[in-house]
Amino acid sequence: MIRMSDYDSGDEPPDGGSSEPDDVFTYNGGRVDPGESANIRYGISETYLGDPVRIPVTVVNGAYPGPTVFLSAAAHGDELNGIEVVREVAHDWDHSQLHGTLVCLPVMNVPGFLAQERYLPIYDRDLNRSFPGREGSTSARRMAHRIFTNFIEPCDLGIDFHTSTRGRTNMLHVRANMSDPTVDRLAKSFSSNVVIAGRGPAGTLRREATDAGVPTITVEMGEAHRFQRTLIDRALTGVASALAEFGCHPDSSVHWPGWRTIIDDDDEKTWLRADAGGIVDMKRGRGALVEEGEVICTITNPFKEEDEVVTVEAPFTGLIVGVLENPVVYPGNPLCHLVGLSPDTRTALQRERRPESSQSEL
Ligand SMILES: [Zn+2]
């Protein structure tokens, strides 16, 4: 049974210190002992009114020893699917058999979340380019620093949830630096069909955490401003599978997604971009397998003039991982993210799918 406590970061901190045994979770202002769970509102900044900006954090410290894993979401304030994943893990799951500690950060970018915007509303700074942060620097880096030092650095592993940028959607997929063996293991255990390999841009939570010795993956899922239940359920399966892989739930098993492709730098992949401005008629959706030369979309003007229609074809056979939802483009705007598949992967994917389910929610 996990005991639950509830306190603000401004409360009198319980006795803390660096000499705690490994299985006590400590942060600046408090501690969470084995077998305990705490809901924390942790101050990371102040508003124009001088009031605290506090992020919600739930630390679930299991009764049994094991790794410390962070689950984070809404570094981009309008990316909501991950919030529900992290909340359900923190509050709906039975943690009585948990081996290790879960550090659940459902909303990291609180100002962006309140404004329902991607960036921090202060000069549009990107919190997910501000890690690991720095004391005495910009507002974004100070916030990042407080999150990073208290709740990321003490962990052994991490999963950061995102969605596509507003107006686009993507398949559930993992982004991970597969040259790190533990990141590779974490990425594969998450039970995603698609893993895109790469270190990630400087300042992203996954890259900076991994570089700081906390192997971390990003999970991309769906679109901004939505709760998409099918994707949330698939991500919850992924979390359970990853926790099983690392021994947090020794009686559970790792889930195999049926087929998997790992896209690295040498593989065929491209963002197809519009060469004309106009209104997009998208023929294929997220998760569709398209053949080389197949029409993915057309771009037309308001008069639908036949001789002005621009047809966009697949440059190679592949999988549509990300796609436009808002059907209007300027020249240069992305239309879809297409990745190539090996013949084996393609066969496995086709075997798994019935013809009528090729547009199913992935
Ligand atoms: Zn994001």
2 CA distance to ligand 1 centroid (A)? 32
Give mean pLDDT, residues 184-208.
97
Determine the pLDDT at residue 217. Answer: 98
Of 147, 231, 219, the residue nearest 183 (C-alpha): 219
Determine the pLDDT at residue 316. Answer: 94
Determine the pLDDT at residue 243. Answer: 98
285 CA distance to ligand 1 centroid (A)? 20
Is there a domain that residue 15 lies in?
yes
Determine the pLDDT at residue 14. Answer: 44
- Residue 288, classified by CB atoms within 10 Å of its CB into exposed (0-12), middle (13-18) or buried (19+), is buried
**Residues 181, 288: one domain?**
no
pLDDT digits (tens, 9 = 90+) for 244-265: 999 999 999 999 999 999 999 7
> Do 98 and 64 touch, CB atoms closer than 8 A?
yes
Q: What is the DSSP string of 16-36?
A: --TT--TTSEEETTEEE-TTE
Is there a domain that residue 328 lies in?
yes
Is there a domain that residue 277 lies in?
yes
Is there a domain that residue 276 lies in?
yes
166 CA distance to ligand 1 centroid (A)? 10
Domain boundary among the residues 228, 262, 296 is at 262
**Residues 191, 281: one domain?**
no
Q: State if pTM tops 0.85.
A: yes
Determine the pLDDT at residue 205. Answer: 98
**Residues 248, 308: one domain?**
no
Mean pLDDT for the chain overall = 92
The beta-carbon contacts of 147-151 under 8 Å, at least 24 apart in sequence, are 147/44, 147/55, 147/105, 147/108, 148/208, 148/209, 148/212, 149/28, 150/27, 150/28, 150/42, 151/27, 151/42, 151/57, 151/70, 151/103, 151/105
pLDDT tier, 362 (very low <50, low <70, confident <90, very high otherwise): low
pLDDT tier, 19 (very low <50, low <70, confident <90, very high otherwise): low
161 CA distance to ligand 1 centroid (A)? 7
Share of the chain above pLDDT 90, in %: 84
**Residues 345, 254: one domain?**
no
Of 75, 57, 198, 67, the residue nearest 132 (C-alpha): 75
**Residues 236, 287: one domain?**
no
pLDDT digits (tens, 9 = 90+) for 292-319: 999 999 999 999 998 899 999 999 999 9
> Do 31 and 40 touch, CB atoms closer than 8 A?
no
218 CA distance to ligand 1 centroid (A)? 9
Is there a domain that residue 76 lies in?
yes
Is there a domain that residue 122 lies in?
yes
CATH of the domain at 201: 3.40.630.10
**Residues 253, 307: one domain?**
no
**Residues 255, 318: one domain?**
no
Determine the pLDDT at residue 267. Answer: 81
Determine the pLDDT at residue 11. Answer: 44
Residue 4 has pLDDT above 90, yes or no: no
Q: Which residues of 100-139 are buried (b: 16+ CB within 10 A; e: fewer)?
A: bbbbbbbbbbbbbbeeebbbbeeeebbbbbbbbbeeeeeb
- Could you give the number of structural domains in the chain? 2
75 CA distance to ligand 1 centroid (A)? 6
The pair of three-digit structure tokens given for residue 343, joined into one six-digit string: 């013949």
Is there a domain that residue 362 lies in?
no
**Residues 94, 142: one domain?**
yes
Residue 15 has pLDDT above 50, yes or no: no
Determine the pLDDT at residue 268. Answer: 87
**Residues 152, 64: one domain?**
yes
163 CA distance to ligand 1 centroid (A)? 5
165 CA distance to ligand 1 centroid (A)? 7
pLDDT digits (tens, 9 = 90+) for 20-58: 667 999 999 899 999 999 999 999 999 999 999 999 999
211 CA distance to ligand 1 centroid (A)? 19
Q: Which of 10-14, 52-56, 240-244, 340-344 shows the lowest mean pLDDT across its residues?
A: 10-14
18 CA distance to ligand 1 centroid (A)? 34
220 CA distance to ligand 1 centroid (A)? 8
343 CA distance to ligand 1 centroid (A)? 31
Residue 139's domain comprises: 3-262
Domain boundary among the residues 262, 281, 312 is at 262
Bigger pLDDT: 266 vs 147: 147
pLDDT digits (tens, 9 = 90+) for 137-187: 999 999 999 999 999 999 999 999 999 999 999 999 999 999 999 999 999
Domain boundary among the residues 213, 235, 262 is at 262
79 CA distance to ligand 1 centroid (A)? 6
The pair of three-digit structure tokens given for residue 355, joined into one six-digit string: 């013809």
314 CA distance to ligand 1 centroid (A)? 26
pLDDT tier, 85 (very low <50, low <70, confident <90, very high otherwise): very high
71 CA distance to ligand 1 centroid (A)? 14
Determine the pLDDT at residue 27. Answer: 95
160 CA distance to ligand 1 centroid (A)? 9
d(CA 269, CA 263): 8
